[in-house]
């Protein structure tokens, strides 16, 4: 697991309360990450102990470092729904499903 610094906060993926993996789709040659649109860049969503959602981006490219982005609750709901986690939405995001799906 990995630790990341964002401003004056440290996010430790080992201490996350929950994590969700990305969905991928076969394009005839590779499995392509649904959230990144790339077969070489992947995302995992985490829920921190303090209730913050953040996405970790990792790359298959040599020499690249993983990074994270802290998400707002609405962004986390979109990420979860895009990646087929409809049945696994946390309570605090469930109400946003109606708002973000057309």
Do 24 and 31 contact (CB within 8 A), yes or no? Answer: yes
Can you give the pTM of this predicted structure? 0.93
Q: Which of 62, 67, 17, 63 minimizes the C-alpha distance to 42?
A: 67
Q: What is the pLDDT of residues 41-79, one digit of tens each?
A: 999 999 999 999 999 999 999 999 999 999 999 999 999
Helix (H, G, I), strand (E, B) or coil at 58: strand
């Amino acid at each position: 697991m990995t630790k990341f610094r964002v401003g004056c906060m440290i996010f430790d993926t080992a201490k996350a309360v929950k994590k969700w993996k990305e969905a991928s789709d076969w394009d005839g040659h590779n499995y392509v990450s649904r959230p990144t649109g790339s077969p070489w860049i992947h995302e995992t969503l985490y829920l921190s102990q303090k209730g913050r959602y953040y996405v970790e981006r990792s790359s298959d490219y040599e020499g690249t470092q993983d990074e994270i982005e802290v998400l707002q609750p609405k962004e986390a709901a979109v990420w979860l729904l895009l990646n087929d986690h409809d049945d696994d939405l946390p309570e605090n995001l469930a109400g946003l499903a109606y708002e973000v799906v057309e």
